[in-house]
Amino acid sequence: MSESTLQRGAELQGLSTAILLPGAGLFGDRPGRGLTDVGPLTSIGGLSLFQRTVLTLQRGGMRQLIVLAGSDEELLKHALARGARVTIPVRWMPVREFPLDDPRTWESLATEVRGFCLIAGVQAVFSKGLIEHLRQSVRDGEALVVTREAGPVEPALGRRNPAVALQEGRLISFHNHPGQEGHQVAADLVVLPASILTPPNGAAASPSGAAEPAGMIPVRRWLERAAVEGRVRVVAAAAHAGLWYRDVWDHTSAGLAERTLFRSLKGEAEGFVDRYFNRTFSRLLTRLFLRMKCSPNAITMVATAVGILSAVGFGIGTYSAGIVAALLFQLAAVIDCCDGEVARLTFTESPFGAWLDIAMDNVVHIA
């Protein structure tokens, strides 16, 4: 057996499969009900929520995706075909044939999962680092549930994920009482070993014995049962560690998620002017370039053209021309930040784009 085959087999034993639920939340939303304010095709930072979720998972190291899609399957496929290239296999399973509340759906999925699977909704924006952290944190037979801090404004009760009670980093229970600001709330992002998807016959519906409402996804029941055995660890999302997570349930939360995305673009080696001046104005222009669907390379050429115009102004030699040239040179520096921001936001970075950016910077400096 070849070394590459052995390596791929080892990867599949860990966390390499993601199951996406575009039409439902893991805890609160019933399949098929839909979300009225925003949805999988809502644009955040130049990409739809569904596109961004898929590409973030790909960048985070996922090797295969399974999408349990509803009536919007064709729209989702069309959205995924646009923009950045998806290089991992994507399998589409219609929920009309594989109902999310049917145990047989999850038993069939368990046969395709070796080791662990990540189950995620798409009504959120999260970092590549969070996915990488989850992949590194899996332990045999244990589940992971990602949590976020409750904020001052939370979704309506029918769409709110449960708060969590934990002890020493392990889940004790869920509860539906509104959490106070700063309390931990379950996110639509969990990691489950394949064995949890196929519980033994006769397993209880839930530790409390309460009947599960029709149409509900059984994720909460699985986690509660595993928590009784001490097999659920909690991973708290943390912006300062690059493990950020933002729920999106309305247009206000969508704006907050987009601001979080832009803040994540800061480089560690940026100087004072870049961080507090150029980046402040570049974000405004980046939003404009995203709406205009400009490619990063096209933005690089715009910055180059503005830079060359500034050189012409300096060459004229008059006082007024020098003032205009200085302003144009600063504008070129601001636009020069935008190409990288658009590339990172839309997952369209490339070696050629990096070379072009450096080459055009040198052209402007020589001019």
Mind listing the pLDDT tens digit of every residue in the chain (367 residues)?
A: 444 443 444 344 689 999 999 988 888 654 444 445 688 999 999 999 999 999 999 999 999 999 999 888 999 999 898 877 899 999 999 988 998 888 888 888 888 888 899 999 999 999 999 999 999 999 988 999 999 988 766 666 556 788 899 898 999 998 876 556 568 899 999 999 988 887 655 444 444 444 445 556 888 889 999 999 999 999 999 887 789 999 998 888 899 999 999 988 876 556 656 666 777 888 899 999 999 999 999 999 999 999 999 988 888 878 888 899 999 989 999 999 899 999 999 999 989 988 988 888 778 777 6
pLDDT value, residue 131? 96
pLDDT value, residue 8? 42
Contact 67, 22 (CB under 8 A): yes
- The CATH code of domain 269-366 reads 1.20.120.1760
Best CA proximity match to 295, nearest among 332, 341, 258, 329? 341
What are φ and ψ of residue 161, in 5° steps? -75, 155
| Radius of gyration for the chain, computed over Cα atoms and rounded to the nearest angstrom | 24
Q: Which amino acid is at 116?
A: F
pLDDT value, residue 138? 93
> What are the residues whose beta carbons fall under 8 Å from the beta carbon of 170, sequence distance 6 or more?
227, 230, 232, 233, 234
**Residue 310, both tokens:** 């500034």
Contact 18, 118 (CB under 8 A): yes
pLDDT value, residue 206? 47
Give the integer Cα–Cα distance in Å for 128 and 53.
Answer: 10
pTM of the model: 0.85
pLDDT value, residue 4? 47
| Residue-range domain boundaries for the chain | 3-260, 269-366
Segments of 254-316 assigned E as strands: none
Architecture of domain 3-260: Alpha-Beta Complex (3.90)
**Residue 228, both tokens:** 């009784």
Give the integer Cα–Cα distance in Å for 279 and 301.
Answer: 19
Q: Which amino acid is at 2?
A: S
What are φ and ψ of residue 139, in 5° steps? -130, 150
